Amino acid sequence: MDIDFSLVLVCLVSFCGLLWLLDSLFVKKSRDQAVEEFRANSSKGKSDEEIMAAVEELSRESLPVEYAKSFFPVLLIVLMLRSFLIEPFQIPTGSMIPTLEVGDFILVNKYAYGVRLPVIGTKLFNVADPQRGEVMVFIPPHVDQYYIKRVIGLPGDTVRYEDKRLYINGDLISEEFQQDILIDTSIGLLDGTLHVETINGVEHATQHITGITSQRPRTTWVIPNGNYFMMGDNRDNSSDSREWGTVPEKDIVGKAIAVWMHKEPGLNLPTFSRNQLIE
């Protein structure tokens, strides 16, 4: 399971806020009282500098409280940004090649499909529904971690994928051959083809391995209400809805909107050569 940074942030914000609140309610009063007693009983005969130093010492918060007050607003702002606006995400696999490469850092629009509470994911209000052709980050039904794929089927759609051709509600999706390519796979480089596919007016690149036929016994899916059918652009090398089923609306994370940085695996410096909007 991936680290849930939203949960970590919620815990840190809660801890810092609670520590600050407890200090304000119960400890600060005793510090103020100690200062008053000092001014009334112990400040006579002392210089102004000595009085100021003593008052400062008596008023000083404990180190944990100082850190809590300093970090609380910063952590709260980060939590709000990640939960309701924009969250960064790194591409871990090659399932979206050629659109997204391993090592791409992308930005995910968290409010595109509705505003949700962090961690528990309860939707506060709807903004828009996912559309065919959009690239979406979500939690799949078989594992508790973020995945990124393209929205292919909407609730009520019939999706068919057969002989490397995609049909939605009986209509063949336009796919134009571009060129022959080599595709990097777990068993080495294999011959493949690059295409431009158009779904709902959105053009995007897809690739297929030549000579490999699908081993999946099922070719047709009817999408239930409140669910979405997801596929990777690397059609012959993608674990997606063809294997583990549709994605419920409650497990949507957000819409992928842009690549902002890229870092090759290993000891390599990040680059900004792949910065682009995601189509």
Active-site positions read: 95, 149
- Buried-state track 209-228, b at ≥16 Cβ within 10 A, e below 16: beeeeeeeeeeebebeeebb
Residues 6+ apart with CB under 8 A from 253: 87, 108, 110, 136, 137, 138, 139, 146
Bridge partners (DSSP) listed for residue 195:
177, 206
Cβ-contact 82, 9 below 8 angstroms: yes
Q: Ramachandran region of residue 136, left (φ > 0), alpha (ψ -120 to 50) or beta?
A: beta
Of 241, 222, 87, 86, the C-alpha closest to 149 is 241
Token pair of 27, please?
């400890």
56, with CB counted inside 10 A (0-12, 13-18, 19+), is exposed
